[in-house]
């Protein structure tokens, strides 16, 4: 695959990003594109490795190793190297309905398990992926392709996030009449309102694909919350032959400590959603970090997005609290290849904060103990303490406060980015669906059928909070099983 000796001859290169202090002045995407010739050189680094772990898509130690949707990575790397871009796009679309999304926001577990990464920097898979699909749009190769025949079957999809969009695309391809319900004012779910515009442009990238799906015959019904007065749950079974639930895991984890009810404390998604809505509407955001000391509690991608958004608002300072220790610079012996590498990295938000304030904004092994109020009932400070991790009498690792490490940190805006507990329950309860011990919709892996025949579940509402690319995997799988339920067999992959 690629050039036989390319991995020995060429170094890994990634496209430059816009300078941090420049890009925090706007909401435009910050990644720049590489020239085609440089991309071909990077494709040449793909080894003829025999066993390409990059597209294995398995869980090792609870983390993704390789691509969950089994992208044919060595094949399209080779095609890019040989300047066969249209064929590369065809191979990419065989497994991925929306590579323009994963090529921008996926953390690239494929690169973590790249065989070359066992001893050298990985092939730049993610950048090649997004470059292939963008070339397809530029050349006019990607156009609406509605099915030539219809089955007469109607399918409702509840939720238009990554799993819902993928299921819709596949079921429409099979010829079913697909209606996607979305409670927000625009389709896209997490892709629209959970991921900031500087990572995934809503008008230029997301809306471009939604428009194609509409042209292919998919019906989007927004501002409609299924299971409530808008659209009672019983109507789903009456009006549709099958239902696919892709509502996500949107119930946020709270921090019930003293002062939680103070003004100025918000869930991260509330903050990020309000910001994207304001950008699209051309209005001021109702939850602004401008001129404020911001403290973000929690790490991960959502915490990083809060850092980047706060900087663009013009915050006075930003601190990100993480209860876990800082990751090592190199793989630990307990984290061998091809596992996901749990190593230290500065994501875009931290890079921007370091450029503006001189240091990584993350403070490790630290947790909040209480919120302090000002005279108006708004948050004015966060009291924190350092923690040490040790085993309790049950053998479980738990954090223990370190005496004398207490600190008061000024804050007029606090953002809770501590993950999600599971899906919201009203629709689940209205349908009478069984749930697992974690409150997710109970549906067998690879089958996706719930306790009610004809009702399927996929994505975060079934598996819990996870990566966008796992949502794509589940959306495709649920579409296949739904098609099989409707037609007796399925040709969907």
* φ, ψ (nearest 5 deg) of residue 300: 75, 180
The stretches in the chain having pLDDT less than 70 are 1
- Please give the domain boundaries of the chain with CATH numbers for all domains: 6-139 (1.10.1060.10), 154-250+421-487 (3.50.50.60), 254-418 (3.50.50.60)
Tell me the pLDDT tens digit for each residue of 193-227.
999 999 999 999 999 999 999 999 999 999 999 99
Query: Can you tell me the distance from the alpha carbon of 245 to that of 237, in angstroms, rounded to the nearest whole number?
Result: 12
For residue 490 the two structure tokens come to 């399925």
Query: Can you tell me the distance from the alpha carbon of 436 to that of 208, in angstroms, rounded to the nearest whole number?
Result: 37
Tell me the pLDDT tens digit for each residue of 283-318.
999 999 999 999 999 988 999 999 999 999 999 999
Instruction: Tell me the H-state helices in 358-411.
Output: none
User: Which DSSP state fits 358?
Assistant: S
Among residues 314, 263, 296, 245, the alpha carbon closest in space to that of 471 is found at 245
Query: Can you tell me the distance from the alpha carbon of 135 to that of 139, in angstroms, rounded to the nearest whole number?
Result: 6
CA distances from 183 to 117, 129, 174, 207 (A): 42, 31, 26, 17
Task: Say if CB 169 and CB 218 are below 8 A apart.
Answer: yes
Query: Can you tell me the distance from the alpha carbon of 443 to that of 432, in angstroms, rounded to the nearest whole number?
Result: 13
Q: Residue 278 is inside which H or E element, if any?
A: helix 268-281
Predicted structure pTM score = 0.96
Task: Say if CB 471 and CB 163 are below 8 A apart.
Answer: yes
| pLDDT value of position 346 | 94
Residue 396 β-bridge partners: none
Cα-Cα-Cα-Cα dihedral of 160, 166, 167, 169, to 10°?
100
Task: Say if CB 295 and CB 310 are below 8 A apart.
Answer: no
| pLDDT value of position 428 | 96
| pLDDT value of position 1 | 63
CA distances from 88 to 81, 442, 487 (A): 10, 37, 32
Query: Can you tell me the distance from the alpha carbon of 288 to that of 306, in angstroms, rounded to the nearest whole number?
Result: 11
**Residue 472, helix vs strand vs coil:** helix
């Amino acid at each position: 695959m690629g050039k036989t000796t390319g991995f020995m001859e060429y170094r890994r290169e990634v496209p430059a990003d816009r300078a941090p202090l420049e890009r925090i002045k706007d909401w435009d995407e910050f990644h720049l594109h590489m020239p085609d010739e440089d991309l071909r050189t990077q494709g040449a680094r793909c080894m003829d490795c025999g066993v390409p772990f990059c597209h294995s898509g398995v869980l090792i130690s609870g983390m993704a190793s390789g691509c969950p949707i089994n992208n044919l990575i060595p094949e399209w790397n080779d095609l890019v190297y040989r300047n066969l871009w249209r064929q590369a796009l065809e191979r990419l679309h065989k497994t991925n309905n929306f590579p323009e999304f994963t090529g921008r926001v996926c953390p690239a577990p494929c690169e973590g398990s790249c065989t070359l990464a066992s001893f050298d920097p990985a092939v730049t898979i993610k950048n090649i992926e997004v470059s292939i699909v963008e070339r397809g749009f530029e050349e006019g190769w990607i156009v609406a392709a509605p099915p030539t025949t219809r089955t007469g079957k109607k399918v409702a999809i509840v939720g238009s996030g990554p799993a819902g969009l993928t299921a819709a695309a596949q079921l429409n391809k099979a010829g079913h009449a697909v209606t996607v319900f979305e409670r927000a004012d625009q389709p896209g779910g997490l892709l629209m309102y959970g991921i900031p515009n500087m990572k995934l442009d809503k008008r230029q990238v997301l809306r471009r694909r939604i428009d194609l799906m509409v042209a292919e015959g998919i019906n989007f019904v927004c501002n409609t919350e299924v299971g409530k007065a808008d659209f009672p749950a019983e109507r789903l079974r009456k009006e549709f032959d099958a239902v696919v639930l892709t509502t996500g895991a949107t119930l946020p984890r709270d921090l019930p400590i003293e002062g939680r009810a103070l003004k100025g404390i918000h869930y991260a998604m509330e903050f990020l959603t309000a910001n994207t809505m304001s950008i699209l509407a051309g209005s001021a955001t109702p939850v602004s970090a401008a001129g404020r000391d911001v403290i973000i509690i929690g790490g991960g991608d959502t915490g990083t997005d809060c850092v980047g958004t706060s900087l663009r608002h013009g915050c006075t300072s930003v601190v990100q609290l993480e209860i876990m220790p800082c990751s090592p610079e190199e793989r630990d012996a307990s984290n061998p290849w091809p596992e996901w590498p749990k190593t230290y990295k500065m994501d875009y938000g931290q890079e921007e904060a370091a450029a503006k304030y001189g240091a990584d904004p993350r403070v490790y092994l630290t947790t909040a103990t209480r919120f302090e109020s000002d005279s108006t009932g708004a948050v004015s400070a966060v009291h924190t303490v350092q923690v040490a991790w040790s085993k309790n009498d049950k053998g479980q690792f738990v954090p223990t406060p370190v005496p004398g490490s207490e600190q008061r940190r000024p804050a007029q805006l606090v953002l809770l980015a501590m993950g999600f507990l599971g899906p919201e329950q009203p629709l689940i309860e209205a349908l009478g669906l069984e749930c697992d011990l974690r409150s997710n919709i109970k549906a067998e892996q690879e089958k996706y059928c719930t306790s009610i025949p004809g009702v399927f579940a996929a994505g975060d509402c079934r598996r819990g909070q996870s990566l966008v690319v796992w949502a794509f995997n589940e959306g495709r799988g649920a579409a296949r099983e739904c098609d099989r339920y409707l037609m007796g067999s399925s040709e969907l992959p």
